[in-house]
Amino acid sequence: MENFSSVQDKAKLVRKWCLVSTTEAGSGHPTSCLSAADMATILFDRYFTYDIENPLNIYNDRFVLSKGHAAPLLYTLFGMAGAYPLEEVKTLRKFGSVFEGHPVPNYKYTEAATGSLGQGLSIGAGLALASKREGLGNKVYVFTGDGELAEGQIWEAANFAAHEKLDNLVAILDINRLGQSQETMFGHNINEYINKFKAFDFEVIAIDGHNYEEINMAFQTVQNSNGKPYAIIAKTFKGHGISFLENKDGWHGKALKKEELEKALKELEPIKDELRFNLKRPKQTELPHQPDKIRSSAMSFEEKKEYATREVFGEVLAKLGNENKEIYALDGDVMNSTFTEDFKKAHAERFVECYIAEQNMVSVAAGLSRMGKIPFVATFAAFLTRAADQVRMARVSEANIKFIGSHVGVSIGEDGPSQMGLEDIALFGTLPGTIILQPCDAVSTEKLVPLITAQKGFAYMRTLRPKTPLVYSNEDSFSIGGSKILRQSDDDLLTIAATGITVFEALKAADELQKEHINVRVVDCYSIQPVDANTLKKCLNETHHKMLITVEDHFVHGGFGDFAAAALSGVSGQVIKLAVKKISSSGTKEELMKDAGIDASAITAKVKSVLKKEVVM
Amino acid sequence: MENFSSVQDKAKLVRKWCLVSTTEAGSGHPTSCLSAADMATILFDRYFTYDIENPLNIYNDRFVLSKGHAAPLLYTLFGMAGAYPLEEVKTLRKFGSVFEGHPVPNYKYTEAATGSLGQGLSIGAGLALASKREGLGNKVYVFTGDGELAEGQIWEAANFAAHEKLDNLVAILDINRLGQSQETMFGHNINEYINKFKAFDFEVIAIDGHNYEEINMAFQTVQNSNGKPYAIIAKTFKGHGISFLENKDGWHGKALKKEELEKALKELEPIKDELRFNLKRPKQTELPHQPDKIRSSAMSFEEKKEYATREVFGEVLAKLGNENKEIYALDGDVMNSTFTEDFKKAHAERFVECYIAEQNMVSVAAGLSRMGKIPFVATFAAFLTRAADQVRMARVSEANIKFIGSHVGVSIGEDGPSQMGLEDIALFGTLPGTIILQPCDAVSTEKLVPLITAQKGFAYMRTLRPKTPLVYSNEDSFSIGGSKILRQSDDDLLTIAATGITVFEALKAADELQKEHINVRVVDCYSIQPVDANTLKKCLNETHHKMLITVEDHFVHGGFGDFAAAALSGVSGQVIKLAVKKISSSGTKEELMKDAGIDASAITAKVKSVLKKEVVM
């Protein structure tokens, strides 16, 4: 029988720092750290292969703490691996410290921000997928809690991992029985988890998560790859190692008071403070590629033809993928609608079919981004909403993801409201610094996709279902934060700012109005965020009535109109929003745009009514 | 051996109308109807018990079409059950028709809007739960596709149904192999589904979904209840019954052309157009209760004490539950944070622990709402985002749900950005007609909860983590769409509109400014949507600089500020938004509010800077 006394001593030190740091902070989740401490310690002591100077080395093993509230465990592990002096962990949860309450990318050893539960397995699957497809040979270890296994995303990730044969992915399930408010749904009924992960085609290893022999055996086993992802299902006890915490209700998310801490540390004695992990280094060092320079797809379009921007997007992405090998495309069983199928045809090795599981898709993309990839995530705009929380967390992770939402607005027609993307600008718009674009024609689409590819960070592009005529010529240029004035004269009465499909309605309205000698300016705000504040201000100032009418195929709150209004705050004038204000229905594109009050006739009517009002006033 | 020829004839008629209606529409998903047609026909012919005059009769069996794109099947079934002339189904997908592309509540026989996949089992679980808890004895049949089984929500629902022992719930899985863009992950590997549903503790019946003997047996079996939910796992063929459609790629979401339709109908001959279903009627008739009148919880608060609005909410809800028996409370393992635990203590029979599975929680609430319940769905505001798509679809369903999001904003402090609700106003605000409230103290909370309880529809209330002092006295009154002016004078220079925690910052700022003889008006906009436009306009007009500064603990786009700005569109003046503009971190409430630029000092500084600018100008 092997002697585990040295690693057990290290586990004591791990426990000490989880307790000390949370007591210093006055809050946190020490007992959630303690249940996983033994497994994590053996992993770091014997198996984890990592280049501590280069957390981004693509050959590193990966440690994903899905149960993000156990952050002090993560901080202690890497501290004991020499990443920083352990004393620093005492700044836990303090303003300005990298040791936040839940891991964030300021702390460079975390693979992703966690803390919204049930996302870690998908992130791990993204990391493992990149490794697998590129033959890097490293392993990804994901520690999950048991409460979070109730999140459906776990099973999306499980399906995905098994389907992609990610045998370099190891889920370590810390089944400590207790959730926040009470016992979890299955408590210590470990068979519930065993049966489920087996049914989801994982290789399952069930262990006592505090038995060093069994833990070690499990980690030894997972070093072999047999085509299946692994689940180490560990029966553990919350607060294990400290008698008055272990398996006790009422200790979730509570730090020990000073005197309780002293009592706890006594139980751990003797503590060997000098113990450290000596991580194995991977044989190679390679950092992820930097974002690419801007490349053009060098396409051109025929003046008289109509194109759907979603189709153009697909073609452009496939072409960009020829030179830029970091681009990945992910889709949720709608590649023939979003046109990522073009990318798949050209670059099957970098196409990821995620099936109808949008949450997993977004978190997989976050994992790919961490490996230096440039993932394009595409589905109907309406169904990106399904992954709103994963989008939010990927933003906190500072992931470099490009989202493509097709089938936006009521203009999709007959399918009805469930398929209409009408909240997507709000979804992405609230997240700080997210680029939001909506080109209205083929040319602007072709020019804009390369720009978001080259710029690191979050970007979202709306693409249109119907075909639209060309507004631009192949020589026109576009920029993030730009816009185009499409109609103007020396005596414009007001300005209409449109985006996407409503550009054509605005142009129609302008033409109609001109017949009645009413001149209006029309701006195509293809960049919604950042919006072209300078141009909008200029338009406001140069028009008689200092009035801007925004028109968009999106719900009225949180859309383009609010970005335009915010850009004009501080300028005297008036912003009137035309947008969708009720739940739409089935019908033709024309009927539904009219019904929503965002078509040419609605714009014309609004212009006339506001002008009348102005004159009367 | 039984003779199924009559029911087979009915199935032919069902097929005919699915094909005819989609061809008339020129779009739709006929082949997805055909795979489920045999099972649905037997169900309606022999088992489905339903009061066709009263779709809301609480004793009705329920038919939930989770695969909403098979809407023509639903429309044909109820048409053949006598709900309306079948000919009407020819208006499918036409503007103004109740027969939309995917089911919506305008069509009164649908239990919920579907079309965003993977939600039907949760909705069915909500219906089944109400029935089970109240002993109504009816059954809930949920038809799902196979593509949608990739959605994690399915497994959240499965866990929930098994845990709640919903043996009145029958999932019928139409495993027709083909998704939209290609074969599903598991194709016709039926064992994958059998193993999974067994592992999730369902009673599984695997059948050939086109074999009438087997289908009938399955429905006979599920009439008995044995403590477990049922899954009828049916191997089917997309397009079954028409040779050139059956099991063929490239037919998803495509209507037949006129000549193809003729060919198809020939294959179905002879078609007996006169056949109809004669549904069994339930023995009793009872419609859901109407929304309750406004009741007070009759609590009062001590002037010098501080209260957390989340705690007050919990107490009020528990008290309202004494008289109002329709109130249900649902929580996601945070009842000790949201304080729905008070409701659980008082009314365990109407408390629903959903564990950490927010998507299922929201759709279960939609099901409860359909049964006339008033579900309160509570979790951290940040985690309501996890269910953004379910919230969206519940709104399309016109469900009567009250959402409570606790732990809003950076003011939660040390836990960090993953736990901060900073997009929630945008999430609910985009959805037309959603009431959004944010009381800042105990009194206003106590007065507002009864108002949303009594008003049918969507409402969202933000509750605060920290305790706050009383701003109001127990006699003050509040209204949806109201606000309170907390500071004013005859020479106010501008107005500060705050909501929730920032009310206290605005008051502090006003006091500071007054010391320097700068008078500002302060308004508590506890009603964010509808916002009190009249009061804000009045404030703008009555202050020297016609300027409104909004302050909120929410991201800057899509928040309260945008509602305020929209309310003032058409009034000359200026709106300046103070809100969170970057990802926050861990820290104390005070540090983080200062860092975000939404504390008293930020307000004071902003007021001074805009006044200086105005004077210079």
Task: For chain A, give the mean pLDDT.
Answer: 96
pLDDT at B486 over 50: yes
| Contact at CB, B557 and A569, closer than 8 angstroms | no
Helix (H) or strand (E) holding B164: none
**CA nearest B429: which of B499, B506, B486, B507?**
B499
Task: Say if the ipTM goes beyond 0.95.
Answer: yes
Quote the DSSP letter at residue A44: I
Model confidence over A51-85: pLDDT tens digits?
999 999 999 999 999 999 999 999 999 999 999 99
Exposed, middle or buried by CB within 10 Å (0-12, 13-18, 19+), for A33?
buried
pLDDT for position B163:
98
Q: At what angle do helices B5-25 and B30-42 cross, to 10 degrees?
A: 150
pLDDT at A291: 67
User: What are B349-360's pLDDT values in tens digits?
Assistant: 999 999 999 999
pLDDT at B615 over 80: no
State percent of chain A over pLDDT 70.
Answer: 99
- Are B532 and B566 contacting, i.e. CB atoms less than 8 angstroms apart? no
* Closest partner CB to A355 (pick from B93, B150, B423): B150
pLDDT at position A614 is 65
User: Do residues A389 and A363 lie in contact, with contact meaning Cβ atoms separated by under 8 Å?
Assistant: no
**Residue A104 to residue B585, Cβ atoms within 8 A:** yes
How far away is chain B from the Cα of A212, in angstroms, using its nearest Cα? 29
The stretch B577-595 carries a mean pLDDT of: 98
What confidence category does residue A615 fall into, taking pLDDT thresholds of 50, 70 and 90? low
User: Mean pLDDT throughout A238-245?
Assistant: 97
**Do the chains contact at B588 and A95, CB–CB below 8 Å?**
yes
Q: What is the 3-state secondary structure (H, E, C) of B492-529?
A: CCEEEEECCCHHHHHHHHHHHHHHCCCCEEEEECCEEE
- Mean pLDDT throughout A533-557? 97
In chain A, which among 189-208 make CB contacts under 8 A with chain B? 192, 195-196, 198-201
Which stretches of B516-574 are DSSP H helices?
Answer: 533-542, 560-567
Q: Which residues of B are catalytic?
A: 358
Assigned token pair, B570: 């058409």
How large is the average pLDDT for residues A319-325? 96
Asked if B93 reaches chain A (Cβ–Cβ under 8 Å), the answer is: yes
| Whole-number pLDDT of residue B617 | 44
Residue B47 is classified by DSSP as I
Q: What angle do CA B434, B439, B444 make, to 5 degrees?
A: 115
* pLDDT for the residue numbered B291: 67
Nearest to B310 by CA among B193, B433, B465, B187: B465
pLDDT band at A2 (very low <50, low <70, confident <90, very high): confident
Residues in contact with A354: Cβ distance below 8 Å, sequence separation at least 6, in sequence order = A160, A330, A331, A332, A333, A360, A361, A364
| Nearest residue on chain B to A565, alpha-carbon basis | B565
β-strands B484-487, B520-524: how paired?
Answer: antiparallel
Segment (H or E) for A235 = strand A230-235
**What span, in angstroms and rounded, lies between the C-alpha atoms of A25 and A13?**
18
Nearest to A389 among B386, B557, B582 (CB): B386
- Mean pLDDT of the region A204-229: 97
Cβ separation of A422 and B430 shorter than 8 Å? yes
Identify the CA nearest to A43 among candidates A285, A223, A282, A231: A223
pTM for the whole thing? 0.98
Look at residue B290 in the predicted model and tell me its pLDDT: 76
Residues B425-458: tens digit of each pLDDT: 999 999 999 999 999 999 999 999 999 999 999 9
Tally helices (H) and strands (E) across chain A: 21, 19
As a whole number of angstroms, the distance between CA A253 and CA A236 comes to 17
pLDDT category, B293, cuts 50, 70, 90? confident
pLDDT at A617: 44
Measure A28 CA to nearest chain B CA, in Å.
Answer: 8
Taking the C-alpha atoms of residue A187 and residue A173, their distance in angstroms, rounded to an integer, is: 13
Q: Do A416 and B114 touch (CB under 8 A)?
A: no
Identify which of B394, B418, B69, B135 has the alpha carbon closest to the alpha carbon of residue A114.
Answer: B418
Whether A616 has a pLDDT exceeding 60, the answer reads no
Distance, CA of A165 to CA of A132 (rounded, Å)? 9
Instruction: Check pLDDT > 90 for residue A569.
Output: no
Name the token pair of B31: 């082949």
Lowest mean pLDDT among A383-392, A527-536, B243-252: B243-252
User: Is residue A50 within 8 Å of A81, Cβ to Cβ?
Assistant: yes
Mean pLDDT for chain B overall: 96
Segment 63-82 of chain A within 8 Å of chain B by CB: 68
pLDDT tens digits, residue range A159-191? Answer: 999 999 999 999 999 999 999 989 999 999 999
The 10s digit of each residue's pLDDT in A343-395 is 999 999 999 999 999 999 999 999 999 999 999 999 999 999 999 999 999 99
Residue B284, Cβ neighbours under 10 Å: how many? 11
A419 to chain B, any CB pair closer than 8 A? The answer is yes
Which chain B residues in 281-320 lie under 8 Å from chain A, judged by CB atoms?
A: none
Structure tokens at B158: 């499965």
Confidence of residue B145 (pLDDT cuts 50, 70, 90): very high
Give A577's strand partners: A550
